[in-house]
Amino acid sequence: MTDIFNEIDDELRRDRVAQFWKKHGPKVVVAAIVLVVAVAGWRYYEYMERRTAEAAAARYEAALQLSREGKTAEAEAAFSAIVTDKPSAYRDLARLRAASETGRADAIRGAAAFDAIAADQAVPQDLRQLATLRAAALRLDGADPKAAASTLEPLTRDDVPWRNSARELLGLAALKAGDYDGAGRWFDAIVTDPTAPQSLRSRVELYLALVRSGPVPAAP
């Protein structure tokens, strides 16, 4: 008797499956096809993104090599050509390097190029802050070093990744201007920052030695 009930249950399950497949089978097939196509499309997208990134990396490295060889104009053109390409990380880095190459030949034009990057809200904030730092660095030896220094001060906050570079530039600008107290304050801020790299700390120790020695007496 139990076998008969089992056979009846099996028949009922087969009937339910047949009815479900008759009613929903085409939908299941379509959903499966859509899923396969979607997965294949995503894999192809990842593949193309990887190829694009590898190509951009190769072009970026070639532009860097031109810079290392001192071919400033060629390097600037190569970096500028990458700016319009993907991925965005290389585009932004290429803009910074292009501005740097411009600054090697013309500090005023280079600073303006960095200003344009700093003002571009599409660029990540840390890179915009770096552009501000580089623009100020190019202007510190110009006609208005005080104005350049004022743009650096907001970058010395503890939440800015380039804070110690900004502090170093401000300290050097103060030292150059004969403001030994101001220079000492900026250099001390670097020494007391536990995140400051050792190479920077070593440089700052030399700067502080200059600060402690004071101004060089004028020759009689």
With respect to residue 18, please indicate whether it lies within any of the assigned structural domains.
Answer: no
Six-digit token string for 88 = 């965005």
Cα pseudo-dihedral 62, 64, 68, 69, rounded to 10: 30
Co-location of 186 and 128 in the same domain: no
Burial classification of residue 210, based on how many CB atoms lie within 10 Å of its CB (0-12 exposed, 13-18 middle, 19 or more buried): middle
Residues 134 and 158 in one domain: no
* Whether 211 contacts 175, CB under 8 Å: yes
Question: Can you give the pLDDT at residue 68?
Answer: 81
Q: Is residue 45 part of a domain?
A: no
What is the tally of structural domains in the chain?
A: 2
pLDDT of residue 29: 45
What whole-number distance in Å separates Cα of residue 113 and Cα of residue 80? Answer: 11
- Residue 155 carries which DSSP code? G
Q: Of the residues 139, 156, 183, which one is the last residue of a structural domain?
A: 139
Query: Is residue 114 domain-shared with residue 74, that is, in the same domain?
Result: yes
Q: pTM of the full predicted structure?
A: 0.62
Clarify whether residues 157 and 112 are in a common domain: no
Low-confidence ranges of the chain (pLDDT < 50): 1-2, 4-5, 8, 28-49
- Residue 164: name the closest of 206, 207, 133 by CA: 133
Same domain, 153 and 204: yes
Please identify, among 90, 106, 139, the residue that sits at the C-terminal boundary of a domain: 139
**Domain endpoint, select from 76, 105, 139:** 139
Q: Where are the alpha helices (DSSP H) in 69-140?
A: 72-83, 88-105, 107-118, 125-139
One domain, residues 132 and 69 = yes
Residue 117 has a pLDDT of 92
Tell me, yes or no, whether 79 and 125 share the same domain: yes
- CA separation for the pair 138, 110 (Å, rounded): 8
The parent domain of residue 81 ranges over: 64-139
